[in-house]
Amino acid sequence: MTEPLVLTQTIGEGARRTGVITLHRPKQLNALNDALMDQLGAALQGFDADDGIGCIVVTGSEKAFAAGADISAMAKKTYAEAIAENFIGRNWETILTIRKPVIAAVSGFALGGGCELAMMCDFIIAADTAKFGQPEIKIGIIPGAGGTQRLPRAVGKSKAMDMVLTARMMDAAEAERAGLVSRVVPADKLMDEVLAAADAINALSPASVLLAKSCVNKAFEGGLADGVQHERRIFHSLFATEDQKEGMAAFLEKRKPAWTGR
């Protein structure tokens, strides 16, 4: 059997645990090729369909989350081939269809498609060693997995232009100041922090977690008026759940809520 390009494990004790997916092409700094993206998509879908999983983490190695799309696999690709195989579109965006929260745990390089993959996760927790960049312009292309769209939304136009046009890298501290990552933690504490964040999510009502994620994504991916309308419909719909009654009653009764997922 060929060596798997992603490793999966389940961590945690409670009714809902965390599914951890580790990108695993260490010698190539987790350069993202077709087979790896197929395996990543399948692992994400597997955890999304598993009722025992509340939250998913995508991570890489200490040196690299991912150094981008695999350049050796792209070097000779023609325009006609890119279109015929629906390059990127075919298997990179499975992650956008995942309903459970997906946290990127980034250590080392997150470049090109690696940065884009991290940005397709719901939020990024970075080690202090993390470096983000969209260096595609240095190899005669541009970001092709949403980088020109998501980076400006995350860090603003000026910084995004700077990164995309000069190909410079942003360190973890700058990425946190700019809003690209939610927190920066010491490298040796990265997984502890990420798993604690995932555990906090696992303890919540699954319906409100899925719907909160979909609402924040609406803000990020669409326009403001549409987003507020979408949020209002979802907000109203939560009043049909038992967990809303339980959550509010528990607050008023000064006790912990007992979520049922109904």
- Which residues of this chain interact with ligand CAA, rule CB under 6 A? 28-29, 31, 67-72, 88, 109, 111-113, 116, 135-136, 139, 143-145, 147
Strand (E) or helix (H) holding 111: strand 109-111
Point out the catalytic residue in the list 12, 108, 116, 144: 116
Q: 60, 112, 113, 114: which is the annotated catalytic residue?
A: 113
Instruction: Tell me the C-alpha distance between 122 and 95, whole Å.
Output: 10
Which candidate in 31, 64, 69, 126 is catalytic?
69
Asked if 136 is an active-site residue, the reply is yes
Give me the count of residues in the chain: 262
CB of 78 to ligand CAA, least distance (A): 16
217: exposed, middle or buried (C-beta count within 10 Å: 0-12, 13-18, 19+)? Answer: middle
**234-241 long-range contacts, Cβ below 8 Å, gap at least 24?**
237/211, 238/207, 238/208, 238/211, 241/205, 241/207, 241/208
By beta-carbon proximity to ligand CAA, the closer residue of 75 and 84 is: 75
Q: Terminal CA-to-CA distance of the chain, rounded, Å?
A: 42
**Residue 32 CB, nearest distance to ligand CAA (Å)?**
7
Closer CB to ligand CAA, residue 88 or residue 234?
Answer: 88
Least Å from the CB of residue 16 to ligand CAA: 32
| Rounded-to-integer distance, Cα 51 and Cα 68, Å | 32
116 tagged catalytic? yes
d(CA 106, CA 8) in angstroms, rounded, equals: 16
Minimum CB separation of residue 138 from ligand CAA in Å reads: 6
Q: Which neighbouring-strand residues pair with 20?
A: 9, 57
> Nearer to ligand CAA by C-beta: 35 or 238?
35
Nearer to ligand CAA, 144 or 206 (CB): 144
φ, ψ dihedrals at 216, nearest 5°: -65, -40
- Considering 43, 104, 136, 146, which one is annotated as catalytic? 136
Smallest separation (angstroms) from ligand CAA to the CB of 233: 34
C-beta closer to ligand CAA: residue 19 or 68: 68
Q: 118 catalytic, yes or no? A: no
Residue type, 85: E
Q: How far apart are CA 79 and CA 81, in angstroms?
A: 5
3 is known as an active-site residue: no
Instruction: Supply the residues annotated as catalytic.
Output: 69, 113, 116, 136
